[in-house]
Chains A and B, each alone.
Chain A
Amino acid sequence: MNVKKTTTLILTIICIGSITALAAGLPSMSVQVKKGEVRSTPSFLGKIVARLSYGDQVQVQGKKGAWMLVDLVDSGNGWIHASALTRKNIVLRAGQTDAQQAADSDEIALAGKGFNEQVENEFKAQNPTIDYTWIDKMENIVISRKQMLYFLQKGGLNPEGGS
């Protein structure tokens, strides 16, 4: 086989390989927030159709602005804002190999690593006068989609606003 043919063959294999990877490889992303909300429309005013947990993986089927259309486990699909997702694979229960991989690569993130609940508890033990009561209360303030919609409509504001 002459070199020209070999080179052509190699290039063809590379091209076919890339196309196959593109076709098969719809991006898989991980939920990087505590509570991931999937909505019926690409808007925060869309009805919540599914709730995802930190580290859950989703298959992205489409994109509209900053919203990702993702497959749902049960059936159908829904929209989640891109800022709730990361391309990194979040490892919830990491072993030493995962730790090394995470250190070497941008592809993996370890849940519960570094500054975590354990570190916060240790900090609390060392600083007993610092009170977290109101921090916990703040986090429990939940504003519903309906409250938000009502607020926008009554205030003469833009219900379509937002990224």
Chain B
Amino acid sequence: MKKLYTQISSIQTNVSLFLGLMLIMGLPSLFTGCKSVESVTNVGSAIGVATGMLTDSQADSLKKTTIAVARSFQDITPEQEYYIGRTVGAVILEKYRPYTNKSALTYVNILGQTLAKASDQPETFGGYHFLILDSDEINAFAAPGGLIFLTRGMLSCCRNEDALAAVLAHEIGHVQSKHGLQAIKKSRITTALTTIGVEGTKTFAGEQLATLTQTFGESITDITKTLVNNGYSRELEQEADRSAILILERVGYNPNGLVDMLQEMNRRLKPGGLDFAKTHPAPIKRIENISSIIGPYTPVVEPKLRKFRFDRIIAKK
């Protein structure tokens, strides 16, 4: 009997020790991960109840579920990313007119979609699509989900297909790493996701629709402000350049096409300009970073047909 008690007690001790260790290891990460989100939700729930948008029980449920729900831009589903991207694109097109030349449009889409298939995120909810903007400004934008825009000014920085491929691959890099979504303020993501948490039907009712639409509009502004005015951080730009190099190498382009394009851009950019000069690190700085990855410069040598199609469709426009 005494032996049995000793065994039981030994098993209990081991189990307690194991559970204790699990708790010690697990709790800090839980607290650090959720603290800021919880405080946002508490405020949000209080406002929701005070304004009559939420009942007490909905607010309680919201508070409970937020700990599990609210995380970050990574929790935005591909479907939601798609709707965000569509409106970001539409807002960009308020400022720029599309360049509708059919052969140029088809060419950038074949090139762009071929590159996208070689990225780490070849499939998005609505797929990758490319549009040329009829502007001399040197610029390119990637809306979440894969809608990519580049200006004719940017096209003129590309002397060959490898350089144009580099521009598109850089923008695909922004899409695959969800840089656009990262520009959305976290509190808006919490609002969007918690509205999902309290709403069960497919169609949102008036107040919930109003809240979601307001949050949607604010999220679009966060992204377009970053794309058009503020630019991404140097780190995110470097990440997009690294992705571009990888994509170019996978497809068989010389990544020095990116260097060629940046050198040409450096010659053309006007200091203080409202385009890439404003939103991107200086081309020379980017070249330094790219060269540290791909090594010494080797000139782009184009096969005859590759050069021919680029010259015919893009360079002559």
- Residues of A that sit less than 8 Å from B by CB: 2-4, 7, 32-36, 44, 54, 66, 81, 83-84, 93-100, 102-105, 109-120, 122-123, 126-127, 129-132, 134-135, 138-139, 141, 143, 147-148, 151-152, 154-158, 161-163
Contact = CB atoms under 8 A, between A and B. Distances in A.
Given A99-B197, A115-B212, A157 B251 contact: yes
Contact of B68 (A105, A130, A132, A151): A105
Given A36-B123, A158-B251, 9 more contacts: A3-B11, A33-B126, A103-B196, A119-B213, A139-B129, A143-B114, A155-B161, A156-B303, A158-B250
B118 A163 contact: yes
B197 to A, nearest CB: 4
Given A119-B209, A134-B93, A134-B131, A81 B196 contact: no
A161 B251 contact: yes
Interface string B190-202: 0011011111111
Interface of B: 4, 7-8, 11, 61, 65, 68-69, 76-80, 82-84, 86-87, 89-91, 93-94, 98, 105-106, 109-111, 113-114, 117-127, 129-131, 147, 161, 192-193, 195-204, 209-210, 212-213, 216-217, 219-220, 250-253, 303, 305-306, 309
Given A123-B217, A135-B89, A7 B122 contact: no
Describe B's contact surface by its main secondary structure: helix
Contacts of B212: 114-115, 119
A129 B228 CA distance: 19
A134 B98 contact: yes
A155 B303 contact: yes
Given A112-B202, A143-B110, A157 B217 contact: no
22 contacts: A3-B7, A3-B8, A44-B122, A83-B123, A84-B123, A99-B196, A99-B197, A102-B197, A103-B69, A103-B196, A115-B192, A118-B209, A126-B213, A130-B91, A139-B127, A141-B105, A141-B109, A154-B309, A155-B309, A157-B114, A161-B250, A163-B250
B87 A130 contact: yes
A38 B89 CA distance: 29
A155 B306 contact: yes
Contacts of A143: 109-110, 113-114
Contacts of A138: 89, 129-131, 147
Nearest to A132: B90
A111 B202 CA distance: 8
Contact of B111 (A34, A110, A122, A151): A151
A59 to B, nearest CB: 19
Contacts of B200: 94-100
